[in-house]
Each structure stands twice: as structure tokens, then as C-alpha cells.
Structure 1
Amino acid sequence: MIGEALAVGSLLLFSANVLLVGAATRRVPQDVGFLLALTSNVGFAGLIVLGQYTVGGQSLSPEWDAVGLFALGGLLTSYLGRWFFFRSVTTIGPTRASALQITNPVFAALAAWVLLDESLPPVAVLSGVLVLAGLYLTSRRAGGAAAERAAGRRRSLPFPEIGLALLGAAAYGLGNVARGAGVRDWAAPVVGSLVGAAAGLLLYTLVSTDLRKLRTVVAGADPVGRRLWLLSGVLTISAQTCLIAASLFIPVAVAVVISAALPIVVLPVSVLFLRRAETVGVATGIGALLVLAGVAGLVLS
């Protein structure tokens, strides 16, 4: 049950980050916050690795093939996956983009089957389908179906942009498989998270950031917002480390499905503690129950 416990830990950490990012985005824009979170990813993982191999006395014997896979996984998830997703949100809207994004575990399962020779038992497949169906229902806004039909009458579906959203989901899925393959060559999940985050930060800085304006923008940002985004980086790198470590014990696709089941944590917290019930309807409740049933099946199977 070690792998399942690590995947559930990843789920809890990712869920905490979702709840945090809403407050952080209201104070600091997402583009600046994303860079702060990536920087925090690298800094926190670097501290853990430093403690592991200096204070902890472990010997550092890198497997360079694994390092390359960790870097590839970081580029696919931290940069390409997010870029494609944000691009699709602005063109086809958050509802469709989120609905397509939940195909990430499908791509992970297919890639793991082809590249890692991982096959899933029927119970795991059925449980994964339940999670995907539940995620689809919980990602839809109230009245979303009618709005989608009305939009469909006004214009045809933007198939190129839908393709971009699917590319984002595929990038996430392939990135998780690359990191899962890397950790099996070198069982160093924290190093894997550090290498992946550093690769994503480097590419993001080179491609998406004006370094001349960066210091001014960050210095002028809301201090509380900056701290929230830095905390978001700590949560996400911890969640990624748990997900990578889980791949040592269970199939990558199972770990990805469990870690993606955010509604079973986010919805109850939002309704019971944050009083955000405006988007929770019958379909959302059914979806959350399907996600819960699917995750329980994956954990217990």
C-alpha cells in the first residue's frame, strides 16, 4: 500500500494547492505567480536534496539516463502541458479546456503501456473510467450544457484549439510516464522533482519572461500574494515528488488517476469551510461520488 499512500498524499497536496491558488491569483497575476511557484519548486527541492546528500550522508551516484528522463518530464509537464492548457482556456473556455484536460490519465496509461509495458487489471481500468467520468461531470459549470449548445449554434467547434488542449493533456501524461521511467532507473524522486522543475524554470525564463522587467514586476507585487505563490510552489513540488515516488510501487497510470481526483477533496472543503456552493449541482455531486468510488477501487484493488 506504499504506492497508493504516496499517490493519495500527492492528491491531498495538489488539492491544497488548488485551494491556495484562488487566493494567490486575486493578489498576484498568474504569469508572475507561475514564475514564483517554479522558483519555489527549485529552491525547496534543492534544500531537500542538499539535506539528503549532505546532512543525511547519502552518496550521490547519478544515473544520467534517469536525469535526462526527469528533465524531459519536467519540460513536458511544467512548461508544455501548462502552456497548451492556458492557451486552450483563452480560446475554447475553461469548461471545455478542463473537460479535455482530464484525459491526461488516458494518455499516461497508453504511454505507459507502450513504453513501459505496463498493463492494468480490469478492476483498475473500470475504476479509472469511473474517475474520468466523475472528473468530467465535476468540471462542468451549472447550465454549462445549455451554454455549450447555444455556443455550438453560433459557431462551429474550434477543432485546432481542441487539438491544442489535447496536446496539453498528452504532454502531462507523457511527462508523468517519463518521470516514472526515470525513477525506476534511479530511485531518487526528490532529485527527479528538482531536475524537472529546474528544466521547466529554465525554459520558461528563456521563452516567456522579459528578464529586464522581471525584478521590477516581482518587487511591485503584493507581498502576501508573493508568499502565497511561493507556498504554492512548495505544495506542488511536494505533490510531484509523492507522485514520482508512487511510480516505484504502482503503475504510473494508477498513480496519475489517484493524484488527479481533486474534486473529492476540493469540493467538500469549498462547500463546508469556504462556503462556495454556487457551482455545486446534482451533476457535480454525482461526479464527486464517481471519483470517490473510482479512487477507492484503485486503492483497494
Structure 2
Amino acid sequence: MGELLAILSLLMFSLNVIVTKTASGRLSLDVGFMISISVNVLFSFGLFIIRLVVDSDPLEFHSLGFLMFAASGVFASYLGRSLYFDSIARLGPSKASTFMVSSPLFTFLMAWLFLDETLSYWESLGVVVVLLGLFAVSYNPSRKYAAAGQHGEVALPHSEVSKWQRWRGLVQPGAALALLGAVSYALGNITRGTAIQDWNEPVLGGLLGALTGVILQFIFNKKARHIISSLHNADSKAVRLYVISGVLTISAQIAHIAAMHYIPVSIATLITTAQPLLVIPLSYFLLKNQEGINIRIIAGSLLVLLGISTILLLP
């Protein structure tokens, strides 16, 4: 049961990456993000009402589960999602989703740092393989260096580029955002996993996380307070796509949370974040290879998956 729920979550998360990339070209991410997380709240609230009507089991309150589900909203629905949306626009769906695959790695590393867990030989090897895969995906050999000139930016000769600029130029803008998003999602997975073991209410958990994310957006994002006025002249197709994105993401989150009740958190997270396996072919065919997917990107994605599988599945 847990594996099926995790696979269902994987399918919805993967479709969302393509939908978000398509929508971001028609409407700004700031507006789109608010549409998506607002739909998260509305759709999960509707599911929760259905749960109360259909399910005869009484709803019990658990303070630890409540706090952990709310905390997951801070790390996943607010920080993780906003960073992920931005990285999709900067890197493209295939590369951004590969960085998100590293969230189980960060979950494992956090346990090692803060819970005194040790890394075995295979786990250490898996860390190295993941890092190599991430570098292969983010490496940008064709990036040009530029400096400000009288008529805008001008290209710099290789001899005038500092060593720091050369190293920094190897990695595309957006890679740091994607990695921070992966760390945020890892923290969200830990809090969700803790919550679902204490309080088996995945729909309510999804609702609490989404509601926390919306509240934080309205507090810290001034543009979020003007979302209604921003929709007046917005592209109608983009709005519909972001609505679909909201339905997909909250449904995927609820399925992921439900899977954690049946299988280990690390395994559920590994399955749901294996998005490159679906996103790369979907991006290639549906977006007509706008990202320029090549052997290096495919090989890097497979290395990331191999490394994480080594960490989580081998003794």
C-alpha cells in the first residue's frame, strides 16, 4: 500500500514540474506560486470535509502531530516550494527535479549530524556519487562571462576572467536555490514523518502544512497581498495551469504523507523524489527538448538516483 501511494505521489509531482515550467513562461512565479498554494488550501479543505463525512472514525487531536504538520508547512510548503518554483524557471524542469532528488540525501545527512548516526562505506560512496551526479547536471560548459560596459554587458576574454569567476561560471544560476529547496524539503519530510506516526491524518496534515505556507506568504511577501488585483490582467491559460499545479502538489503531498505511515520515511521519500525518471522524457517530448537535454544530463540524473539508492537500500 505504501509503495503504491508513493508511486502515485511521484506521478503527480512529475506532472507538476512540466505544468509549472509551461505556466512560468506566461505568468510570473510570484503570482503563480500564490495561486498554487491558495488552491492547496482550498482543495485540501474540500478533501478534509469529505473525510469527515465519509469516514466514521472520530477525529482525535494530537499536539505533537499538529505541531509537526505545521512545521512541515514552513519547510516544505513555504521555503521548499518557493525555492523549487524559482529553480524550475532558472534551470528547467529536468535539472531542477534532479536537485530535488537529493532531498533524501540531505535527510540522511541531517540524521548523521544531529542524531549521531554514522555513515557506512556504502553510504559514504553514495554521497560521492550523488555529488558527482549533481555537478554533471548543473555543469554549464557554454556559459559566457560578462562585465558591465558603456553599452551594457560585454563579453570578457578568457585571460581576463578570475579563477573564482571561472569556477562560479561552471555552475548555472539557480543551482544554489535548488539545493536549498532540497534541504528545506528534507526538513519537511522529517517533520511529516514524525507527525504521521503520531497522528495518522494525512489529509488534515496536508491542509495544515498548506495553510501554514499561505499564512507565511501573506506575512513576508508583500506581492501576495495583492494577488486578486494581479489576476485581473493575467493570462487565463497560465492561471488555469497554476490551479492544476495546486491540485497536483497538494494531492501528491497527501499521498506522500499517507505512504509514510506504511513504509519508512526514507523509502517513501526516495520513491516520490525519483522525478527525473519521468520528468526527463516528459520534458523531452512535451516541451520539445527546450532544455537541450543531452547524455551528460541523463547520466548525471542516473548517478543521483544510483547514489541515493545506494544510501537507502544497501545495508
Note whether the superposition's TM-score is higher than 0.5.
yes
Alignment-derived partner of residue 138 in structure 2:
140
Partner SS for 2:56: coil
Q: Supply the distance in 1 between the matched residues of 2:35 and 2:300 (Cα, whole angstroms).
A: 33
Deviation at 1:41, TM superposition (A): 0.5
Q: How is 1:153-192 mapped onto 2 (pairs within 5 angstroms)?
A: 153=163, 155=165, 157=168, 167-192=180-205
Q: Which has the higher helix share?
A: 1
Give ranges in structure 2 of 5+ residues lacking alignment.
146-157
Q: Which moved more, 1:254-263 or 1:180-189?
A: 254-263
Residue type at the aligned position of 1:38: I
Which of 204, 208, 218 does residue 231 from structure 2 map onto?
Answer: 218
Q: How is 1:37-48 mapped onto 2 (pairs within 5 angstroms)?
A: 37-48=36-47
Q: Supply the distance in 2 between the matched residues of 1:300 and 1:154 (Cα, whole angstroms).
A: 38
Alignment-derived partner of residue 209 in structure 2:
196
Q: Supply the distance in 1 between the matched residues of 2:124 and 2:255 (Cα, whole angstroms).
A: 24
Partner SS for 1:270: helix
Q: Supply the distance in 2 between the matched residues of 1:245 and 1:251 (Cα, whole angstroms).
A: 11
Q: Supply the distance in 2 between the matched residues of 1:257 and 1:55 (Cα, whole angstroms).
A: 31
Q: How many pairs does the alignment contain?
A: 292
Deviation at 1:171, TM superposition (A): 2.2
Task: Give the % identical residues.
Answer: 35
Q: Supply the distance in 2 between the matched residues of 1:113 and 1:194 (Cα, whole angstroms).
A: 30
Deviation at 1:197, TM superposition (A): 0.4
Which of 248, 260, 268 does residue 281 from structure 2 map onto?
Answer: 268
Q: How is 1:60-79 mapped onto 2 (pairs within 5 angstroms)?
A: 60-79=59-78
Q: How is 1:21-100 mapped onto 2 (pairs within 5 angstroms)?
A: 21-83=20-82, 94=91, 98=96
Q: Supply the distance in 2 between the matched residues of 1:131 and 1:10 (Cα, whole angstroms).
A: 25
Q: Deviations over 1:128-179 (max 9, x none)?
A: 65983686267336xx146399776363759xx9987655433221111001
Q: Deviations over 1:73-112 (max 9, x none)?
A: 111112223455678899xx749x9586654222212345
Residue type at the aligned position of 2:138: R
Aligned 8 A contact 1:131 1:291 in 2: yes
Q: Supply the distance in 2 between the matched residues of 1:117 and 1:153 (Cα, whole angstroms).
A: 37
Aligned 8 A contact 1:41 1:237 in 2: yes
Deviation at 1:122, TM superposition (A): 8.2
Q: Supply the distance in 1 between the matched residues of 2:116 and 2:3 (Cα, whole angstroms).
A: 20
Q: Do the aligned partners of residues 138 and 259 (structure 1) sit closer, same or farther apart at CA in structure 2, a change above 3 Å counting?
A: farther
Q: Supply the distance in 2 between the matched residues of 1:5 and 1:121 (Cα, whole angstroms).
A: 29
Q: How is 1:10-21 mapped onto 2 (pairs within 5 angstroms)?
A: 10-21=9-20
Q: Do the aligned partners of residues 84 and 292 (structure 1) sit closer, same or farther apart at CA in structure 2, a change above 3 Å counting?
A: closer
Q: TM-score, normalised by structure 2?
A: 0.76
Give ranges in structure 1 of 5+ residues lacking alignment.
none
Q: Supply the distance in 1 between the matched residues of 2:81 and 2:144 (Cα, whole angstroms).
A: 24
Residue type at the aligned position of 2:184: A
Q: TM-score, normalised by structure 1?
A: 0.79
Aligned 8 A contact 2:20 2:245 in 1: yes
Is residue 206 of structure 1 aligned with residue 205 of structure 2?
Answer: no
Deviation at 1:299, TM superposition (A): 8.2
Q: Which moved more, 1:185-194 or 1:145-154?
A: 145-154
Alignment-derived partner of residue 260 in structure 2:
247
For the aligned residue pairs, the C-alpha RMSD in angstroms reads 3.9
Partner SS for 1:279: coil
Alignment-derived partner of residue 7 in structure 1:
6
Q: Supply the distance in 2 between the matched residues of 1:140 and 1:252 (Cα, whole angstroms).
A: 27
Q: Do the aligned partners of residues 178 and 290 (structure 1) sit closer, same or farther apart at CA in structure 2, a change above 3 Å counting?
A: same
Q: Supply the distance in 2 between the matched residues of 1:56 and 1:251 (Cα, whole angstroms).
A: 25
